[in-house]
Amino acid sequence: MRMTKLFPRTRYGEVGAAMTAAHSFLLKAGFIKQLAPGSYILLPLGFRVWRQIQAIVWDVMESHDVQNLQLPILQPQELWLKTERWDKYTGTKVMFETTERHTGAKFGLAPTAEEVVTQLAAETIDSYRDLPVIWHQIGWKFRDEIRPRHGLLRCREFDMSDAYSFDRDQAGMQKSFDLFRLIYTEIFQRVGLTNCINVQADSGAIGGKGSSEFMAVSEEGGEDILLTCPTCNYGANAEKATSVVPTPTPQSKPSATMRLEYTPNTRTVEDLVKLFPDLDATRMVKTIILTADEELGPSQSYQVAVCIRGDLEINIIKLKNALSAQSVEPAKPDVVRAVTGADVGFAGPIGLQNVRAILFDRSVEGLINILCGGNKTEHHFLDVVPGRDFAAPECYFDLHLAVAGHTCPECKMGLLQESHGIEVGHIFMLQSLYTDKMGATYKGEDGKPHPLWMGCYGIGTTRLMQAIVEQNRDKDGIIWPVSVAPFRVEIIPVKYDNPDQRKVSDTLYERLAGRGIPVLLDDRESLQGGAKFKDADLIGCPWRITVGRRAAEGIVELRNRRTQEVTELGLEDVINRF
């Protein structure tokens, strides 16, 4: 490709500053352009990278005998009614829906494809002899993200590699799941991610039991918080992570009686610590009132209370899962008043009614002589002993948010560390969640129908492009890994209107192109060398050939974008390097 034909070219200095480095470079260098929030045009340079990422994905899939196919984006409502996800997905406004004009039939715009592919499985998989079946496609997905942001990281419209496996039993599903762990590791290596880790995750709206995320670690560009153990290989998304919390010095004997004290201006744990300096936050229990399933309507919603140690925060996702609720959020102040009889900040487990349940976090287990809310505005109980002063919980739940410094739940040795990551892939074990609902069965050796065991697997390929840049850049621009670079080499004649330089550049360009090497020639005449170098650094081809002073002698410079190492070489030598 000649630079004079490449359009549009770089737009340095023409993008806003408040964005991550990778997003900004992709815009400045002319790889992508925003059309609307969460909707991007892949410009010619971006298109080339995207196509190479796809090619790697297809290649790795085929090398592991995964079948490539293509599924429709327009998905009939009827399929989504079968899995009972239509109301959920349209209700939470995740799925775009559209209506066929003549019949009024409704369709969803593919946010994912479990329904379509399970239908395909139901109609085509007959026997255990067919299994396992693994299908893979790369296609556009549509999700009406409430707030698209960070360039390609969160879009309403994006490209996804999604695969689905069907097996005869749990062991088979596990095997397919493990295969995808392997496939994904290989893909992320080949596209040039330098630091990609596999962590435990919450499975969210897709459902199922086990799920695992692939995270491109990036402190600056990562949206997710990861907790990893430096001692063992435990790693989890903060929304899923469990932890052993540091234990306070145990109290030797229970107090004689609890007492209710007047505690003015103490809505938060910090306020209480100020008021009772010798009482640590680990000896306080805060009680939070939350409303569950409010989005399903007033008849479905209910209140719960969560008791958790004063130094910890509630992990809402864990609570949602513990309740099997669609949504959970902190109760509104008037609801709290109605439930507790006190203002927000003074709820406690003693005498608390009007909630469906009181859930206790594990951190509360074994505590005695604690402080808790009095269910009376500006009053707290002190020296409270669970079991004596209020009914001891039948069981404890893991509801607290794990943070850096907590002890690893696996090895119980290391202290968890926090880092940030971009979720580039997510693999799920779905059991028979979908196949049961859609009647996708196979005939076993016993001649009877059995439900298929399913797994699903996704990579955000457009998002991956930005994650690659996040991990492969310097202050001047992008440093593309060779495997996905838009061009492997860029030729820069310092003065293209100099006859020697033009001749050498054109020769190199044609010879390299003739070898099938993707090559970019900066043939702009009126531009100074410096401007071309800056552009080249920004665009980030792994190699640059500078044709300059010694062109007449047939000597050019080969420069590595990453190491910035420069070698002077003759024409034939430089061609043979590729």
Partner RNA sequence: CGGGGUGUGGUGUAACGGUAGCAUCCAUGAUUUGGGAUCAUGUAGUCAGAGUUCGAAUCUCUGCACCCCGACCA
Q: Which 155-214 positions form the footprint of RNA (CB under 7 A)?
A: 155, 158, 160, 202, 204-206, 213
Nearer to RNA, 160 or 452 (CB): 160
Interaction between residue 513 and RNA (CB under 7 A): no
Total of residues contacting RNA (CB under 7 A): 72
Instruction: Check if the beta carbon of residue 270 is closer than 8 Å to that of residue 311.
Output: no
Interaction between residue 221 and RNA (CB under 7 A): no
Minimum CB separation of residue 419 from RNA in Å reads 15
Determine the Cα–Cα distance for residues 512 and 516; give it in Å rounded to an integer.
7
Instruction: Check if the beta carbon of residue 58 is closer than 8 Å to that of residue 138.
Output: yes
Minimum CB separation of residue 548 from RNA in Å reads 2
Task: Show contacts with RNA in window 453-472 (CB under 7 A).
Answer: 458-460, 462-463
Interaction between residue 548 and RNA (CB under 7 A): yes
Interaction between residue 317 and RNA (CB under 7 A): yes
Task: Show contacts with RNA in window 402-441 (CB under 7 A).
Answer: 423-426
Number of H helices, E strands in the chain: 14, 30
Nearer to RNA, 156 or 488 (CB): 156
CA distances from 560 to 20, 117, 540, 574 (A): 25, 45, 10, 13
Interaction between residue 12 and RNA (CB under 7 A): yes
Instruction: Check if the beta carbon of residue 113 is closer than 8 Å to that of residue 71.
Output: yes
Range list of β-strands (E), 90-195? 97-99, 106-109, 133-142, 157-167
CA 232 to centroid of chain Cα atoms: 23
Interaction between residue 450 and RNA (CB under 7 A): no
* Residues in contact with 193: Cβ distance below 8 Å, sequence separation at least 6, in sequence order: 216, 424, 464, 467, 468, 471
Task: Show contacts with RNA in window 105-144 (CB under 7 A).
Answer: 112, 143
Nearer to RNA, 463 or 488 (CB): 463
Task: Show contacts with RNA in window 15-54 (CB under 7 A).
Answer: 15-16, 18-19, 28, 34, 36-37
Instruction: Check if the beta carbon of residue 75 is closer than 8 Å to that of residue 86.
Output: no
Spatial CA neighbour of 118 closest among 79, 171, 174 = 79
Look up residue 478 and give its amino acid. I
Interaction between residue 97 and RNA (CB under 7 A): no
Interaction between residue 327 and RNA (CB under 7 A): yes
Task: Show contacts with RNA in window 482-501 (CB under 7 A).
Answer: 494-495, 497
Instruction: Rule CB under 7 A: choose which of 2, 47, 81, 145 binds RNA.
Output: 145
Interaction between residue 361 and RNA (CB under 7 A): no
Minimum CB separation of residue 352 from RNA in Å reads 25
Determine the Cα–Cα distance for residues 494 and 546; give it in Å rounded to an integer.
7
Instruction: Rule CB under 7 A: choose which of 14, 394, 565, 572 binds RNA.
Output: 14
